Amino acid sequence: MALIVHKYGGTSMGSTDRIKNVAARVAKWHDAGHQIVVVPSAMSGETNRLIGLAKAIMDQPDPRELDMIASTGEQVSVGLLAMALLAIGKDAVSYTGWQVGIRTDSSFTKARIQSIDDSRVRSDLEAGKIVIITGFQGVDEQGNISTLGRGGSDTSAVAIAAALKADECLIYTDVDGVYTTDPRVVDEARRLEKITFEEMLELASLGSKVLQTRSVEFAGNYQVPTRVLSSLTDPLMPLAEEANSGTLISFEEETNMEQAVISGIAFHRDEAKITVLGVPDKPGVAFHILGPVSDANIEVDMIIQNQSVDGKTDFTFTVSRGDYQRALAVLESQKDVLGYTRVVGDAKVSKVSAVGVGMRSHVGVASQMFRTLADENINIMMISTSEIKISVLIDEKYMELAVRALHKAFDLEKA
Ligand code: ASP
Ligand code: MG
């Protein structure tokens, strides 16, 4: 017998028929002798609808009241799923976040989980019940309802699995796993059977955002074995087969020499780069340029400072394309303070990254990546690296070509 947390996304919970399918699948796992906790999202489209209602009343909805409204989608889901289970003769009970002590901080609309009181859930499980807990929501110290940010049910599920020391957290979703790259860009993209949580963090941009990034951090920090798998299969498929499907996010690194060096090629299409030319090179330059940008809540990704010439330097950084104009405006407003000559930018750039823990033990990955891009005549504008990732910034026009060429160069189409 194992303790297993199932998480079902909005699509999986999208209609009453689909909820009945979820119930059938959950019942199958329970019948096999496992203790099951289910964490569902709101029915697809529901959270958007609720936020829309709030915005129709108030342009910038009050965050506390917005969470009061947005959290209700999940409350409907858990009740419906509990009924679907009761209707087929299973003993099930549903709870909201506050009823099982999912304590968060008070940053409404993006709250962080601080603790979970597992006593009530444990005693229900001991009594043989299937326990269903709302995803996405919690309660702060003052008893206010909070939500964890869009896509937050993934984080709820992994956090609940961590608190209960579950044997595995199964994230059922509308894709059948994590791929070597977006199959819409590369036909030969392949599903990975296993990936480390560090790689998963780096690949979070792949295809449809498979998991909320914070849930992956949680899985890593608390060592929760987490599997992404499809909810669109036959709910009655053999359990052993289902248990091995999808992609397992693990925290063990393969020592297997056969393991591919690179696990996947990730990309961010919508990037922009900004160069501040002729800034006096003195202590605090980077801080004075990037401080105001970050105060404006703009996230900076890649950064390069050039060698200085005659006491002046050029400073280049990237932001997501949606923040480009705002970042330019911030720099414009700082012109006198910064004393630069000119600001130039390019909002038609993309980032392509090769990711793999194998890089730690293999040399030559960077040179192979650069050779592949050179062979395709693709110019590299910026490079950044981490222990398990190499990223390049290139002209947006060549992004798909670069992804395809790298996928091939690193043999990712081969199992
Ligand atoms: N229902 C919430 C959302 O749409 C949380 C989730 O689905 O994970 O963002
Ligand atoms: Mg989701």
Task: For residue range 230-275, list pLDDT tens digits in order.
Answer: 999 999 999 999 999 999 998 876 555 556 789 999 999 999 999 9
pTM of the model: 0.87
Average pLDDT, the chain: 94
Average pLDDT (4-28) is: 97
Domain with CATH 3.30.2130.10 in the chain: 264-409
Rounded-to-integer distance, Cα 320 and Cα 392, Å: 15
pLDDT value for 361: 85
How far, in Å, from the CA of 52 to the mean position of ligand 1?
A: 14
**Cα angle, residue 177 at apex, residues 300 and 179 outer, rounded to 5°:** 60
The pLDDT tens digits of the residues spanning 29-65 come to: 999 999 999 999 999 999 999 999 999 999 999 999 9
* Contact 28 CB / ligand 1 (< 6 Å): no
Q: What's the pLDDT at 148?
A: 97
User: Quick one: pLDDT at residue 91?
Assistant: 98
The two beta strands, 130-133 and 92-95, are: parallel
270-325 pLDDT, tens digit per residue, is 999 999 999 999 898 899 999 999 999 899 999 999 998 999 999 999 999 999 99
As a CATH number, domain 264-409 is 3.30.2130.10
Task: Tell me what pLDDT residue 169 has.
Answer: 98
State residue 109's pLDDT score.
96
Burial 117-136 (b: 16+ CB within 10 A, else e): ebeebbebbeeebbbbbbbb
CA nearest ligand 1 atom 5, residue? 151
In short, whether 73's Cβ falls inside 6 Å of ligand 1 is yes
So what's the pLDDT on residue 249?
92
150 lines ligand 1 (CB under 6 A): yes
- Please name the fold of domain 3-253: Carbamate kinase (3.40.1160)
- 152 C-alpha to center of ligand 1: Å? 6
What are 377-415's pLDDT values in tens digits? 999 999 999 999 999 999 999 999 999 999 999 999 986
Res. 208: pLDDT tops 70: no
CA of 48 to the centre of ligand 2 (A): 13
Per-residue confidence (pLDDT) for residue 251, from 0 to 100: 81
- Can you give the pLDDT at residue 203? 84
Q: Where does the chain hold its CATH 3.40.1160.10 domain(s)? A: 3-253
Which atom of ligand 1 is least distant from the CA of 9? 7
| Alpha-helical segments (H) within 111-238 | 119-126, 153-163, 197-202, 213-221
- For residue 207, what pLDDT is reported? 45
What's residue 206's pLDDT? 56
